[in-house]
Amino acid sequence: MSKYIYLFFIIILTSCKKQNIEPWHLTQDIHFTWSGGQQKVNLMTAASWEMSPIPDWISIKGQTRKEPYSYIYLSCTPNKGESIRNYKITFTAPGLENNITITQNPQEKLQFPRPYHRIDYHSIKLEVIVKCNINYQTIIPEDVQSWIISDNNAHINHIKPIKFLERTAESKNTITLKISENPTKEERTANVIISNQAYNLSDTLTIIQAGNPNEYYCDGSYIQLQKATKGNGVNLIFMGDGFTKEHLAINGKYEETMKKATEYFFSIEPFNSYRDFFNVYMVAAESEEEGVNNENGNRQVNNKFQSTFGNGTAISCNDDLCFEYARKIKELPFDSPITIIMPLNSNKYAGTTYLYSNGNSIALCPMSTEESPNDFEGLIHHEAGGHGFGFLCDEYVYYDRFIPETKKQEIREWQQLGFQMNLDFTKNLSDILWKDFIGIEKYSEVGAYEGGYEYQYGIWRPEENSCMNDNIPYFNVQSRWYIARRIMHLAGNSMFSIDDFIKNDSPAYHAPSRSVSKRMQPLGEPVWIK
């Protein structure tokens, strides 16, 4: 029996000895921030152990043995290098081995190695180096986005905080900035910012662009040619097509043409008398090639707005792009009609106006070299002033027959919107649209004159002759009234009455009689868009 008791104690002792040398549990892998510090390592064993050599950036700051386990304190120096530090420490005991991994972030870095760039006035793609080991957002201030954009749209990227194990060694990223040509003589400066809010890091790149000794207007830029001194300001926008970069020099052909067209617009009543109510803008539009396309010939021109001569004197264009360029004017209210007057770089006699039921319009006016009133000024009066702003009907006659009912219906539909009010379908002076002017001494020539809208019969106009017939620098009184009424309405004076108009109206110009002896081909029929 004693022999069996002896064997039992031998087994128990052996089991206890084996318990002491079973693999122990260590603290999980340790992570340090870049600034270092001290952390505790628990060794869940009472057995004696040894530790493998450690690098100089790790040190032991203390050791305690307390049954049935022991622990040490590891300290880590700041990591100001470019890479993550990794080191595996091995702990050994008789017949046993275990490891922990020490990992330390490098210091977060985000900077421009070259924080200043001075460039000349030309357009350029600027490659900018960023030294970083975190991700970042590029911020281009709104006030310089008109001439600096990020090639990879980095200024709209969102910051994604980086987890420890996603960190990489310091790298050199590249931001590509597209910088447009400086059109002015003045030097300009921009500050582009990179930032990571999660780490509260940022850096600033300063770009200084030299002034342009040649002073060109850049495509899409604009200037104000006239500021309204009365009312809310009625907006006119002048922009040309078929003008190349050489024409866009400051005080060059483009600017000179837009200013000339402005003076032509206001050289006729009632625009001259109400000029103080207008804001006038010029938008620069650079075409690759000079001139206007011709759909009936072999002339193809790479111009900005795709202006194209069609049959007779008709002209077409890319109207969506026209309005896109008009909207580059930040001062334009979104709830007001847009009146675009577009001189075309051609001396051909032609003209067409796009008219929209919301009050928008585009008047296409070549720089005609025909004799007055069929010259450039005459086209501005007829297309821009008459159609484009006044929304008036043509008053000339080309067909010796009654106006079709379909044409009458077209006019009536537009008249319900307050447009095309210079023609009527009755000769009864007590019912005609301009009856308020009948019997007034200074309007003695006002009556019912048959013919208009290209047809001889069944339609009447207010006076024998007017700008909407043959481009003469004179609008009949009904046309003047509706132009003045629209000006005052857009300027914010909804109380403006016909009596107010009559009091200030002065028909100083005596219109010549209608003549067909030197009849020009009719201008392109307006494009009415509802």
467 and 473 Cβ atoms separated by less than 8 Å: yes
Q: Which residue has the tokens 């910012």?
A: 193
Residues 132-150 pLDDT 10s:
888 888 899 999 998 999 8
In percent, how much of the chain has pLDDT > 70?
88
Domains of the chain and any CATH numbers: 23-104 (2.60.40.10), 110-209 (2.60.40.10), 217-396+468-530 (3.40.390.10)
Flag whether pLDDT at 216 surpasses 70.
yes
C-alpha separations of 490 from 3, 336, 337, 417, 520 in Å: 120, 8, 9, 15, 34
Residues in the chain: 530
Spatial distance between the Cα atoms of 403 and 458, rounded to a whole number of angstroms:
6
In this prediction, residues 172-187 reach a mean pLDDT of 86
Whether residue 113 has a cis bond before it, omega within 30° of 0: no
Residues 407-435 pLDDT 10s:
999 999 999 999 999 999 999 999 999 99
Flag whether pLDDT at 12 surpasses 50.
no
CA 109 to chain centroid, in Å, comes to 34
The reported pLDDT for the residue numbered 282 is: 98
Spatial distance between the Cα atoms of 301 and 295, rounded to a whole number of angstroms:
11
Arithmetic mean of pLDDT over the chain: 87
In this prediction, residues 397-409 reach a mean pLDDT of 95
449 and 464 Cβ atoms separated by less than 8 Å: yes
In this prediction, residues 169-174 reach a mean pLDDT of 63
The reported pLDDT for the residue numbered 97 is: 83
Amino acid letter, residue 500: D
Which stretch of 52-56, 267-271, 328-332, 507-511 has the lowest confidence by average pLDDT?
A: 507-511
Fill in the DSSP letter of residue 216.
B
Flag whether pLDDT at 210 surpasses 60.
yes
In this prediction, residues 199-228 reach a mean pLDDT of 92
In this prediction, residues 363-390 reach a mean pLDDT of 97
Total-model pTM: 0.64
Residues 87-106 pLDDT 10s:
998 888 777 788 889 998 88
The reported pLDDT for the residue numbered 351 is: 96
Amino acid letter, residue 327: R
Residues 348-374 pLDDT 10s:
999 999 999 999 999 999 999 999 999
More confident residue, 3 or 396: 396
Confidence of residue 34 (pLDDT cuts 50, 70, 90): confident
Structure tokens that stand for 425 in this block: 């379908």
The reported pLDDT for the residue numbered 172 is: 63
* C-alpha torsion 127→133→134→139, nearest 10: -20
Count of C-beta atoms within a 10 Å radius of residue 328: 18
208 and 116 Cβ atoms separated by less than 8 Å: yes
Confidence of residue 346 (pLDDT cuts 50, 70, 90): very high
Flag whether pLDDT at 50 surpasses 90.
no
Q: What is the DSSP string of 127-169?
A: EEEEEESS--EEE--GGGTTTEEETT-GGGPPP-PPPGGG---
In percent, how much of the chain has pLDDT > 90?
62
The reported pLDDT for the residue numbered 39 is: 87
Residues 228-276 pLDDT 10s:
999 999 999 999 999 999 899 888 999 999 999 999 999 999 999 999 9
Flag whether pLDDT at 9 surpasses 50.
no
Residues 501-527 pLDDT 10s:
999 998 776 777 776 445 567 888 888
Spatial distance between the Cα atoms of 198 and 160, rounded to a whole number of angstroms:
8
3-state secondary structure at position 290: coil
Furthest-apart CA pair in the chain: how many Å? 151
Q: What is the DSSP string of 465-496?
A: --HHHH--S---HHHHHHHHHHHHHHTT-TT-
The reported pLDDT for the residue numbered 24 is: 58
Flag whether pLDDT at 491 surpasses 80.
yes
Spatial distance between the Cα atoms of 130 and 171, rounded to a whole number of angstroms:
8
The reported pLDDT for the residue numbered 414 is: 94
More confident residue, 285 or 15: 285
Structure tokens that stand for 478 in this block: 């009904």
C-alpha separations of 91 from 51, 53, 299 in Å: 5, 10, 86
The reported pLDDT for the residue numbered 65 is: 64
Flag whether pLDDT at 304 surpasses 50.
yes
